[in-house]
Amino acid sequence: MKGLYVLSISLLLVVTGCTNSVERKVPDFKAKQFQADTVDLQTVAKNKITFLSIWSIFCGPCLAELPELQAVYAHYKSNQQVSFVTLALNTEEELTRFASPASDSSDIYRKLFKHSKLTDFSFPVLIGTRSPYQIENGSARLTDTKAADQVKQLFTIKGIPVTRIYDRQGELIVENIGVETSPAGLRTYRTNLIQKIDSLLAL
């Protein structure tokens, strides 16, 4: 990928299950949704199966995962029993540059969008309070560790991407840390997420 640099924050493979060190309830968190109003996570999760993914534009595995997140969102978009939420560790300006077809094709954010292979970007995205990254000479550097640490502490995460599924009582049922970015791995990842959500819906 000549001339394009992606900060890879997590190189972990997908794991299923959760540990005692992870916050097991839906966190008390409010944030503005990209191109929409403020969302209260606990409110939208109430009495629903809740899908939550935390990612960033500058995370290589996150970009690979985005088309799968879009596919899972499309699968449950009209299902009122499922709440689908993602949190991006980026600003609204960064997300606008990432998502807008009108952006300059030489813009690093637009290049990253093309690298993600997304053909649709309509799933809900909550915006981090501020971006912990800074663009320097065409590459992204993690410069504000305090901003990143705030999210890590609230959601008790060690890296991204991380995906969590909560049951109707707001209890954490599944946590996936990282993602296998091969085509087969991504297909399996999507299938496993849908199967798990379907199994919770059937209860």
- The domain that contains 85 carries what CATH number? 3.40.30.10
Length of the chain: 203
CA distances from 170 to 18, 51, 79 (A): 14, 11, 18
Q: Would you place residue 141 in the very low, low, confident or very high pLDDT band (cuts 50, 70, 90)?
A: low
Residue 159 belongs to some domain of the structure: yes
What residues contact residue 105 under an 8 Å CB cut-off, 6+ apart? 111
Distances (CA, A) of 175 to 4, 16, 111, 158, 195: 30, 6, 30, 12, 14
pLDDT bucket at 136, cuts 50 / 70 / 90: low
In a domain, 89, yes or no: yes
Higher-pLDDT residue of 81, 93: 81
**Structural domain that includes position 78:** 30-201
Residue 8, in any domain of the structure: no
Residue 139: pLDDT above 80?
no
Q: With respect to residue 11, please indicate whether it lies within any of the assigned structural domains.
A: no
Number of domains in the chain: 1
pLDDT of residue 18: 44
* 168, pLDDT greater than 60: yes
Does 153 score more than 60 pLDDT? yes
Please report whether residue 5 resides in a domain: no
In this model, does residue 84 exceed pLDDT 60?
yes
Q: What residues contact 76, with CB distance under 8 A and at least 6 apart?
A: 51, 82, 84, 197
Question: Does residue 15 surpass a pLDDT of 50?
Answer: no
